[in-house]
Structure 1
Amino acid sequence: MAYAAVVSLAQTLEHINHHHHQYCCIPLICEEQLFESLLEKLSFLQAFLEDNAQIGVETVEGLEGRIRDLAYRAEDIIESHVSDQISSEQERYVDLELQNSEKKEVDLQLVMEETDSIVEQVMSIQNSCTVEDVQCSYASALPSSGGAPNDGNKMVGFDEDILELKARLCGESSTLQIISIVGMGGIGKTTLATNIFNDSLVVYHFHIRVWTTVSQNYHLRQVLLALVASLTDQKTTDLSNMMDEELAECVYKTLKGRTYLIVMDDMWSTKTWDDVRRFFPDDHNGSRVLITTRLSDVAVYASSSPLHQMRFLDEEWSWNLLRDKVFEQQSCPPDLERIGRTIAQSCGGLPLAIAVVAGILAKVDRTPYHWEKIVENISEAVASNAEHFSKILTLSYDRLPCHLKACFLYMGGFPEDYRIPVFKLTKLWIAEGFLKPSRPKSLEELAEEYLEDLVKRNLVLIVKKRSNGKIRFCGLHDLLRDLCMQKARKEEFLHVANNSGKGIQNQRRLSIRFEISKEIVDKCASVSPIRSILYFHWYIASLSFLRGYRLLRVLDLLEASLDSLRPEITQLFHLRFLALGLDCPKLSNRLKVPPSISKLHNLQTLMIRADAILLLPIEIWEMPQLRHLIFFQERGLPSPLDAAPSGGHVLENLQTLRVDNFRFTSTAIETMPNLKKLKVYYYHLFVAVWTEYCLSNLVHLYQLETLNLLFINSLIYKENPLPASFALPPNLKKLTLSGCTIPWRHMTVIGSLPNLEVLKLRDNAFTG
């Protein structure tokens, strides 16, 4: 997690630089020369971490851990000093603050010395790692070629896949076809390709069949050697004197004029295809190239025909595969079938997981008691009994670019089978500081790209899409989630807490799924620099423990039930993401958010679920870093006019707003110039809604892309004409109208929107 830690630290320093007036009492940090020097070294380390895959893992063993710990320590020193400064100003403990400041400056100086030491080590590695070293590392993983692996695996549940692919391979199309099989590790791509490669019809149809396993450590010469060795029945050692061009010519001439099938198993990059495609002649004789890959981008790039996307087995086929693996030709005893079906279902439709579990079951006594033991912890049984299985899943993680690893591991913090809302996940990634800014793209756009990349790598599942094709909910396969938790715990990145509090030491983030006890939170505060808490239980007795977590960035209590926004929360100066579940106190249907919420100067996302009318303070318009203001029930948001009568406060970062009965005055519009998503509910309304709530001013939200106007329990039963010259924001891409009772003759207002992609009209949106 070194890369994510360095990116986060760099963003923290940049933030201090851009808001130096808030941090003027931190002389060591704000000293320009030191500041620029530290940023320059962090940039150097970022570049090194981005490129270290080319150098080799062994070369940098232990170094990433040093870089990670350095970045964590520096960020803790800087932000704890800021907290001390804020506390001393509020409580006027000036002498104590000066003492702490001196200590922090000494600590930070030690960090600078450690940074210099690491930079020197990195430069030494770069100078000693030559091109020849890199090529030697590739040569250590020689691609295999020749016949397909023949492990006797009979495909269960993929009969339709086999028939479809055989038809495409042996079909009437005479042009060279490149067909890609794509799916996550362990889903059966290689087994499917093997069954097809060895099928009697395929053997008869093609004059030449060659199987090449490319693997992740690709090097062109090794692929050429493997292909020539297979095509000419020569040993690779006998071909070592041939130049690359001679090998390539040999492949081309051998295939020329003959009907061939080349299988390239486990391809990891588009560069591989760019390098080898010219060796495969197209003589319009029905030749085929079959590729297997985990990466959808690679499959799309190489394929000349539709992709073959692997799917998970359903419950019935999962049981059939498990039964056949365990009992072979024998029948399953009735008293084991129910338990066996439960075990098969727990594998999540992943054939490799089912095969591993079958191997475990084959070694234990065939009794309900022993099988029930397997059911109790299927994931642990798989992980501890299948080194090959673990390597296959780990390989997908190891091959991730460094900027995606933290985002992927973070998803392990959500509960099993959890439908993860994308709008929430991306905001959490941003708050954590995982994303390296890349203008002109916004951080939100980058986060969506990161998620799409993880989906294309078949590591993240799409649970539900939005009407515009974007992902609404996503999730993880249970076994990939287990991988996330294992890696995250090992990296001291995130820990899924248990009732004992075991394993918490040095962890940066906590995921909690049970009622939290005082003993555990006290232990966490004493042994770990906790930066994030994801809480997935409905009850929480007290938030007093937060006093020990003053460096928190993320506090997700959306699924909890609090009776108010407690004062402990508003003391968390570094908080960037705050999600709360609030229950209305007895004898009241209103909940007030205190003005002290404005103390959270760094807050980016405020998300509140309440079972009552939520009353927000004027001071909410004084939070300059606010990007997303989201409420799930009726709320009262005051106009920013009272907060900034002179128009002094502008929330330039505000992108998402959900409000009720809100008046879009000129001042309000000027306060949120970069708003991209707006959802407004209007309750109990009369006819003059468009004028009363200044909705004609919406046209001046030039960055707005998504607009929802929802009239609920409206008293409007007749036509509600739009004002003269009414127009909607010109850059709208998605528009939802409900209960507006607009006359159909005003439909031209919508028809004039040049960028509109999605239009939803609900519940008398138009009438007449």
Structure 2
Amino acid sequence: MTDAIVNMFLEKLLNTLAEEGRYVTEFRDQFEKLQTDLQLMQCFLKDADRLKRKNHTIRNILADLRELIYEAEDILADCQLQSREDNLFSQGLLTCISPPKLHFKYQSGKRLKEIIEKITHIKQNISSLLGGPLLFQPEVINGGDQMPRWSSHVYDHTQVVGLEADTQKIKDWIFEAAREGRHEILAIGVVGMGGLGKTTIAQKVFNEREIEHQFDRRMWVSVSQTFTEEQIMRSMLRNLGDASVGDDANELLKKINQYLLGKRYLIVMDDVWREDVAWWQRICVGLPKGNGSCIIITTRIEKVSRQMGVKEIRIHRPKFLNKDYSWLLFRKIAFAASEGKCIYPDLEDVGKEIVDKCKGLPLAIKAVGGMMLCKAPYYREWRRIANHFRDELAENDNSVMASLQLSYDELPSYLKSCFLSFSVYPEDCVISKEQVVHWWIGEGFVPLRSGRSSTDAGEDCFSGLTNRCLIEAVDKTYNGTIITCKMHDMVRDVVLKIAEDDAFYRTNGINCRHWGISNNMDRKQLNANQKLRGLLSTTKSGEVNKIESSIAKKFSECRYLRVLDVSKSIFELSLGRLLFHIGSLQHLTYLSLSNTHPLIELPASLEKAYNLQILDVSYCQNLKILPPYLITLKKLKVLDVSHCGSLECLPKGLGRLSNLEVLLGFRPARSGHGCRIGELRNLTRLRILGLHLTHGDEVGDSEVNAMVNLQDLENLSISCFGSHGSDLTSKLDKLYPPQQLHELSLKFYPGKISPIWLNPIALPLLKYLSISSGNLASMHQSFWGADNNFAWKIQALMLESLSDLEVQWPMLQQAMQTLRIVNVSWCPELVSFPIDDVGFRGGVWFKEEHKS
């Protein structure tokens, strides 16, 4: 991914040179020489990932170049820091300068000269290998990698092709066992090679409505290659709603037995590798028998399924997709923008040629289909891809691995770094989209585009990977927005190999730039690696990190750390004391202390982290106050203080943070000692805002228009949890949001009637509406609109836990004729809701409609 590193460095260099900082200016000639040499190499670097696999000389050259670029970037960042200190000194805001300027200038200038000489030598070596001089290509330099044609989510990954017979076969086995009333547990095996769709088949069966009705309890357990018996049982209990913290193995099994006793249950053990199944035999003995319960095992190894109790007549071996189904699956992805129809006749033959090379393997077809979705629909481009695919298969006959390698090679440079970031997460880990997007922004992986917010660009990068079928959605909101994701183990194999080769991430943590925080961290490894750029919590769902104080103190010694995420961690000492020296991390751009214990206050030294762009302290229940210095962190783009129960308000002057794009958990002060809601007027770049209001005096009469002119605001959430007094409702009635709002969430609304501004005239662009909990009993007359010229454009609606809401469902349908998704739960007074047409899942009536 050397091209990604070079492009990222060039973008930073161009922006920094434009700032005219003193120290950058002093080294301007050297930086410009470096810029020219790197620009000349860009064309070569675009194909470098493919070339280096065949040529060890190129591989070594790229490794040397990568390290030199990292070092040059560090020097550039240090120059920016020194320039800032000079500015503060000249303004009388600093009384001392450290380190001594002359020493810094001498050392940096000397090292920069050495780097340029080495890069010049590398350029000459590349010219020799290519048999001619490198030529300047302005269209490549100026244009760079553009965002893909489809940067928003366009393909529904829940669609499957050609699996109807597979799922019906397994369902028939299940229903047959239930009819016969067998005493033993039915064991079913789904066996086949990687990428054949075993997990997809199991998921389809697991989520079928008939199967939901058939079983009282359902558990899905992802069995990684490195697992413990205790981890498996904890995962089963989490499926049953039990956190099972602190129990030993015997207690865990007893709990499972108690939850399942007298119940009909379904367990899926997905992707089992270990041939020694003693762990399963011990668990199986503790499971209650009878009632038509069933266990489905997916595995690549037939012997495993047999040893886990599956009989030959209950082993299902999925077949490869035939040519028709293969082409259909490819079309659904590659031509998703035209509803799966190939509207380019000249592409059909080459498209079928590409599909034939996938040999009927769904994962391979998805990978190449996602890749082609993001390519221009030109025959020449598709022919180039088909030829490269042929070359990959000549070296690696595994069509899945060849297609995945080709997908990586064809990624835009900025997406290569984003893709490799998934290497730090353990196998089968469910990954927070928010965490990875914040990481990408913090480390500069997201390309800077004029007029484009960082958070928007980060979302586009995420969609770029999902559209290419390289990552899979796990959890979504009611409107389809992805919350968590995961990576197929074969995709992860490719990611790990590339990350290891490029020193992005290594399992031993030595000489790499990124590492995951876990319970088994080794202080010696941390001591030996001072090159770290990113250090992130990578716990699996339901787990926490227990980090020794001696290790936590070492975090602040990684001088060039950009990203530090210690979320979901428990520390022996106060986190404020452990991070006392965090201010020394002056390159830090992303800090997450979310859900950490014990965090009572932010460390004073954080004031020095002036480069900080993202600060996440959500779910820190003991956090009582945010320091006044917070308003001096001018580069902040994301501030998340949501679910901090002890926090009363934010510091006065927050409106000075004019770069904020996301502000969550905002609690206005009731007096002048904290930030009032009126300060929101100054945050004109806000895209996402989460308000927590509990008292009427938190909104002054002159502050009710605080949000009206926030023209970039698209997503607004208002929570009134714990509200007091009736005057809050009247204030909320006047607190108009901006007209261009796309998504609105009202939680614990205290009024009986909806706000007057919740109507299609005031919010003409609203697409997603969620109302949950609270006292809402009816909708204001304005909600229904004036006439057909002002109809709602809402596409997804969620109504949850509204026990007093008396609304005629036909009236809602008439007012919201563009509805596609409806999620309704615990609304007993909702009249005429069509429950015959919906599914009942976990206490939720769920209806999904797709309209053209």
**Under TM normalisation by the shorter chain, which class is it?**
0.5 to 0.7
Alignment match, 2:113: 109
* Structure 2 residues without counterparts, runs of 5 or longer: 135-161, 170-191, 201-322, 336-341, 352-359, 376-395, 539-544, 779-852
Verify: 1:410 aligned to 2:421, yes or no. yes
CA distance in 2, matches of 1:121, 1:451: 36
Alignment match, 1:187: 195
Per the TM alignment, residue 599 of structure 1 is displaced from its structure 2 partner at its CA by 1.4
From 159, 165, 174, the counterpart of 1:160? 165
Q: 1:69 to 1:160 in 2, by over 3 A?
A: same
Per the TM alignment, residue 24 of structure 1 is displaced from its structure 2 partner at its CA by 2.3
Per the TM alignment, residue 570 of structure 1 is displaced from its structure 2 partner at its CA by 1.8
- Does the 8 Å CA contact 1:662/1:680 hold for their aligned counterparts? no
Per the TM alignment, residue 121 of structure 1 is displaced from its structure 2 partner at its CA by 4.9
Alignment match, 1:760: 770
Per the TM alignment, residue 38 of structure 1 is displaced from its structure 2 partner at its CA by 3.4
- Does the 8 Å CA contact 1:578/1:605 hold for their aligned counterparts? yes
Q: 1:114 to 1:436 in 2, by over 3 A?
A: farther
Per the TM alignment, residue 83 of structure 1 is displaced from its structure 2 partner at its CA by 6.3
Percent of residue pairs identical = 22
CA distance in 1, matches of 2:554, 2:17: 32
Verify: 1:520 aligned to 2:525, yes or no. yes
Alignment match, 1:580: 593
- Does the 8 Å CA contact 1:738/1:765 hold for their aligned counterparts? no
CA distance in 2, matches of 1:5, 1:564: 33
CA distance in 2, matches of 1:693, 1:638: 20
Alignment match, 1:638: 650
Q: Secondary structure at the match of 1:696?
A: coil
Deviations 1:338-361 (A, max 9, x none): xxxxxxxxxxxxxxxxxxxxxxxx
Per the TM alignment, residue 747 of structure 1 is displaced from its structure 2 partner at its CA by 3.9
Q: Secondary structure at the match of 1:473?
A: strand
Per the TM alignment, residue 96 of structure 1 is displaced from its structure 2 partner at its CA by 4.3
Amino acid at match of 1:675: L
CA distance in 2, matches of 1:129, 1:96: 42
Q: 1:38 to 1:56 in 2, by over 3 A?
A: closer
CA distance in 1, matches of 2:586, 2:735: 43
- Does the 8 Å CA contact 1:605/1:627 hold for their aligned counterparts? yes
Q: 1:517 to 1:83 in 2, by over 3 A?
A: farther
Verify: 1:668 aligned to 2:664, yes or no. no
Q: 1:262 to 1:277 in 2, by over 3 A?
A: farther
Q: 1:417 to 1:163 in 2, by over 3 A?
A: closer
Amino acid at match of 2:5: A
Per the TM alignment, residue 754 of structure 1 is displaced from its structure 2 partner at its CA by 1.5
Q: 1:658 to 1:126 in 2, by over 3 A?
A: farther
Amino acid at match of 1:625: K
- Does the 8 Å CA contact 1:739/1:764 hold for their aligned counterparts? yes
Per the TM alignment, residue 492 of structure 1 is displaced from its structure 2 partner at its CA by 0.6
Deviations 1:503-537 (A, max 9, x none): 43321111132254443322223xxx111111342
Q: 1:273 to 1:572 in 2, by over 3 A?
A: same
Q: Secondary structure at the match of 2:63?
A: helix
* Structure 1 residues without counterparts, runs of 5 or longer: 131-156, 165-183, 193-259, 281-288, 303-384, 497-502
Alignment match, 2:346: 275
CA distance in 2, matches of 1:269, 1:128: 38
- Does the 8 Å CA contact 1:266/1:294 hold for their aligned counterparts? no
Q: Secondary structure at the match of 1:707?
A: strand
Q: 1:692 to 1:101 in 2, by over 3 A?
A: same
Verify: 1:78 aligned to 2:76, yes or no. yes
Q: 1:91 to 1:399 in 2, by over 3 A?
A: same
- Does the 8 Å CA contact 2:453/2:661 hold for their aligned counterparts? no
| Superposed counterparts of 1:41-52, under 5 Å | 41-50=37-46
Per the TM alignment, residue 106 of structure 1 is displaced from its structure 2 partner at its CA by 0.9
- Does the 8 Å CA contact 1:417/1:475 hold for their aligned counterparts? yes
| Superposed counterparts of 1:725-744, under 5 Å | 726-742=735-751, 744=753
- Does the 8 Å CA contact 1:656/1:677 hold for their aligned counterparts? yes
CA distance in 2, matches of 1:556, 1:279: 45
Per the TM alignment, residue 460 of structure 1 is displaced from its structure 2 partner at its CA by 0.7
Amino acid at match of 2:467: K
Deviations 1:194-213 (A, max 9, x none): xxxxxxxxxxxxxxxxxxxx
Alignment match, 1:98: 102
Greater relative contact order (Cα 8 A, min sep 6): structure 1 or 2?
1
CA distance in 2, matches of 1:760, 1:741: 15
Verify: 1:492 aligned to 2:500, yes or no. no
Alignment match, 1:64: 62
Q: 1:762 to 1:713 in 2, by over 3 A?
A: same
CA distance in 2, matches of 1:486, 1:520: 20
CA distance in 1, matches of 2:37, 2:345: 36
- Does the 8 Å CA contact 1:422/1:474 hold for their aligned counterparts? yes
CA distance in 2, matches of 1:300, 1:492: 30
Greater alpha carbon shift after TM alignment, 550-559 vs 661-670: 661-670
- Does the 8 Å CA contact 1:81/1:100 hold for their aligned counterparts? no
From 625, 646, 654, the counterpart of 2:635? 625
CA distance in 1, matches of 2:758, 2:768: 15
Q: 1:765 to 1:386 in 2, by over 3 A?
A: farther
Q: 1:717 to 1:53 in 2, by over 3 A?
A: same
From 473, 492, 499, the counterpart of 1:481? 492
Amino acid at match of 1:551: Y
Q: 1:46 to 1:471 in 2, by over 3 A?
A: farther
From 497, 505, 510, the counterpart of 2:510? 505
- Does the 8 Å CA contact 1:673/1:702 hold for their aligned counterparts? yes
- Does the 8 Å CA contact 2:678/2:703 hold for their aligned counterparts? no
Per the TM alignment, residue 433 of structure 1 is displaced from its structure 2 partner at its CA by 1.7
CA distance in 2, matches of 1:591, 1:163: 55
Alignment match, 2:719: 710
Per the TM alignment, residue 35 of structure 1 is displaced from its structure 2 partner at its CA by 3.8
Amino acid at match of 1:419: V
Per the TM alignment, residue 453 of structure 1 is displaced from its structure 2 partner at its CA by 2.5
CA distance in 1, matches of 2:521, 2:757: 56
From 651, 659, 668, the counterpart of 2:666? 659
Q: 1:64 to 1:466 in 2, by over 3 A?
A: farther
- Does the 8 Å CA contact 1:617/1:637 hold for their aligned counterparts? no
Number of positions where the alignment pairs a residue of Structure 1 with one of Structure 2: 542
Deviations 1:419-460 (A, max 9, x none): 211122111012122222233433322322222222232221
- Does the 8 Å CA contact 2:371/2:407 hold for their aligned counterparts? no
Per the TM alignment, residue 486 of structure 1 is displaced from its structure 2 partner at its CA by 3.0
In the superposition, the TM-score normalised over structure 2's length comes to 0.55
Larger Rg: 1
Alignment match, 2:5: 5
Deviations 1:101-125 (A, max 9, x none): 2022111012222333344455666
Deviations 1:681-717 (A, max 9, x none): 234x3x4554379343121222111111101112246
- Does the 8 Å CA contact 1:728/1:750 hold for their aligned counterparts? no
Amino acid at match of 1:679: G
Per the TM alignment, residue 676 of structure 1 is displaced from its structure 2 partner at its CA by 0.7
Per the TM alignment, residue 626 of structure 1 is displaced from its structure 2 partner at its CA by 0.7
